[in-house]
Amino acid sequence: MLGTLAPKRAIASDAFKPLIEIWQSLHANPQVVKRWYESNWQIATSGDKVAAYEGIKASYNACPNAADLLFLSRSCYGGVVRFRQADGYMSTPCGPHTPIPPESFAKRVDEWHRRTRGTEFKRLDYREAMALAKRGDLVYCDPPYSDSQAILYGAQAFELADLFAAIHECKRRGVFVVLSIDGTKKSGSHVCELQIPDGLFEREAFVNCGRSMLRRFQMAGQTLETEIVSDRLLLTY
């Protein structure tokens, strides 16, 4: 959403320090981000890919940092980062795919640097970030999805009801809010049920996200016509 809109002025936030440091570094010095990726890419492609991946993951788990997380997120299984609730240990195994080469990654860094030039990246709890919004501002929320992501991205403590309360407060102040959340799976045969407060949102739309990325890895070689996923988009206006 941020890259597509490329706003002239915006704040983007996350509570997770290594993740927000990736974005802060991209904003301040994209060459650093390119070097981070290339360094770990060279390690991972110079021998046993899985062993190299596990070494980088061990480095991250010993001392969580932006450089290792950047590469792990591009090379882990399904691109899905999982953390243990007890100690924050990243547990996702190596993916079967080959990470993109540094040259291709560098082009993406340059494009994102251009598109987020007007964005300030802050490490904030979402409630702190939403409290900064003023009348007429637009807030886009992309929280952990309750139907499938309870153990992903360190989301075990997240409560959707708390987010709904923050959205209600924004709406009361005249702030517009858009929320992406669970929609449908299994090509529409499974509808994700959510306890959405009455009257909080004015509109609902379903966005076709294509075939499930994770199932694409799990069902390699199959066409996945029955695995199309749709996100639910909820708007307060």
Question: How far is it, in rounded angstroms, from Cα 66 to Cα 174?
Answer: 36
Q: How far apart are CA 178 and CA 174, in angstroms?
A: 13
Residue, of 224 and 144, whose pLDDT is higher? 144
pLDDT digits 0-9 by tens, 9-20? 999 999 999 999
Candidate from 67-71, 79-83, 132-136, 173-177 with smallest mean pLDDT: 79-83
**Which one, of 71, 75, 68, 67, lies nearest residue 29 by Cα?**
67
Could you tell me which residues come within 8 angstroms of residue 48 by beta carbon, excluding any fewer than 6 positions away? none
Question: Within 13 A of 118's CA, how many CA atoms are on the CB side?
Answer: 9
Q: In the chain, what are the domain boundaries?
A: 7-115, 125-235
- Strand 176-185 vs strand 190-191: parallel, antiparallel, or unpaired? antiparallel
CATH topology of domain 7-115: Adenine-specific Methyltransferase; domain 2 (1.10.1020)
> Could you tell me if 41 and 99 are in contact, meaning their C-beta atoms sit under 8 angstroms apart?
yes
In the chain, pLDDT over 70 holds for what percent of residues? 86
pLDDT of residue 78: 84
Does residue 192 register a pLDDT over 90? no
